[in-house]
Amino acid sequence: MPQLLPAAPGAAGTAAYLPALERRLERWLDKRRPMRADEGMEDERMDVEDLAARVLAGERRALARAITLAESARPDHRARAGRLLERLRGAGREALRIGLSGTPGVGKSSFIEAFGMMLVGQGLKVAVLAVDPSSARSGGSIMGDKTRMPRLSREAKAFIRPSPSQARLGGVARRSREAVAICEAAGFDVVLIETVGVGQSETTVAGLSDLFVLLLAPAGGDELQGIKRGIMEIADLILVNKADGELKAAAMRSCADHAGALRLLRPRPQDPEGFPKVLPVSALTGMGLEEAWEAMRHLAEWRRTGGFWAANRAQQARIWFTEELHNGLLARLEAPDVRARLEELGARVVRGEIAPPQAARQLLGELDDGPRQGDPALDEPPRTA
């Protein structure tokens, strides 16, 4: 029998026994642990060209890897992600990007499961990306979404990607933007970008989408669920979910109320007659899903013809560029040598040895040229009081 454990301790061996056992256990567990999402990223063989080719061929594993690469904040990964996106851009593929938001429990996961299955049934390829507004929900979202989308997550024509677990530089917007672009290049027809509706995240998701859908639950009576005006203003389609069983009547009333509220908003040039629209749906029974899809397609088609689609995408590309520029500059301040200089100059500012604007200019100059020799602000000995 192969010896799995070290020899049992004799009187003298007890102290050495436990650490040895621990090391063996660790090695054993290590071989069995699931692969980390970022594993293999250092693999030189998997160069950008290869990865791009596989993403374009629709390989799921490559797709997941490409998104992981885009989610990484490491400077060398950023550089590779940049090259990858440039390579993928050349494919010129375009999906319908649908942003979807709603408060917790409104039925987002259930809706995406039902709606996604309907689209897959029509032969479409569907990607689902989740955007968490903060890292507060991290950990929960993966399991939560996969268990709430049991059928879709098994579909060969569907791809579900939970949100990145932590937001650092650039935050969720950048990572999601790149994930959307990667899915698009991988040949998905529809990319659903889901977020839980709290505060800023709806605006972020709307800024990544061609259409923005707000999912609501039926409200009791004639109250309007206290939806912020700003959210109403960016919604292209409001779907009142759970329009089934006992909730159906309340859902229909909610639809009428929201339609009334939408009529009070100023018309937007990017909308055809009748939009933004309110429709009842049920993720449970499937009621209204066809109509919702029809409304989305009509709106998308109208916007394409009128040039609004292209204008929106161009605008989004411009914002993406500016954000990336800002993030890139901020990331340079995070480099260890720059941080050290920042601390140093900061301390001198605090001691009143250099004016704050001059210190900032100094550091910015160094970012461009490296530390300047002979600059008085650098070389002067600290003034003593």
Ligand X SMILES: Nc1nc2c(ncn2[C@@H]2O[C@H](COP(=O)(O)OP(=O)(O)OP(=O)(O)O)[C@@H](O)[C@H]2O)c(=O)[nH]1
Residues forming the site for ligand X (CB under 6 A): 102, 104-110, 144, 148, 196, 241-242, 244-245, 247, 282-284
Nearer to ligand X, 201 or 241 (CB): 241
CB of 375 to ligand X, least distance (A): 54
**At 58, is the secondary structure helix, strand, or coil?**
coil
Which of Mg ion, ligand X, none sits in contact with 106, Cβ below 5 to 8 A by type?
A: ligand X
Answer with the entry of ligand X, Mg ion, none that 80 interacts with (C-beta below 5 to 8 A by kind).
none
DSSP β-ladder status, 277-280 and 211-216? unpaired
Out of ligand X, Mg ion, none, what residue 204 binds, judged by CB under 5 to 8 A for its kind, is none
| Helix, strand, coil tally for the chain in percent (to 5) | 55, 10, 35
**Alpha carbon distance, N-terminus to C-terminus of the chain:** 78
SS3 372: coil
Site string for Mg ion, 55-94 (x = CB under 5 A): ----------------------------------------
**Nearest to Mg ion of 160, 181 (CB atom):** 160
Q: Looking at 108-116, 122-130, 227-235, 242-250, which segment touches Mg ion (CB under 5 A)?
A: 108-116
Which residues on adjacent β-strands are paired with residue 129?
Answer: 161, 193
**Which CB, 165 or 312, lies closer to ligand X?**
165
The angle formed by the CA atoms of residues 129, 130 and 134, to the nearest 5 degrees, is 145
Q: Which residues, 6+ apart, have CB-to-CB distance to 17 below 8 Å?
A: 6, 8, 9
Residue 109 as a binder of Mg ion (CB under 5 A): the answer is: yes
Nearer to Mg ion, 239 or 359 (CB): 239
Burial of 143 (0-12, 13-18, 19+ CB in 10 A): exposed
**The pair of three-digit structure tokens given for residue 213, joined into one six-digit string:** 């859908």
- C-beta closer to ligand X: residue 106 or 205: 106
- Kindly list the residues in this chain that would bind Mg ion in the complex (CB under 5 A): 108-109
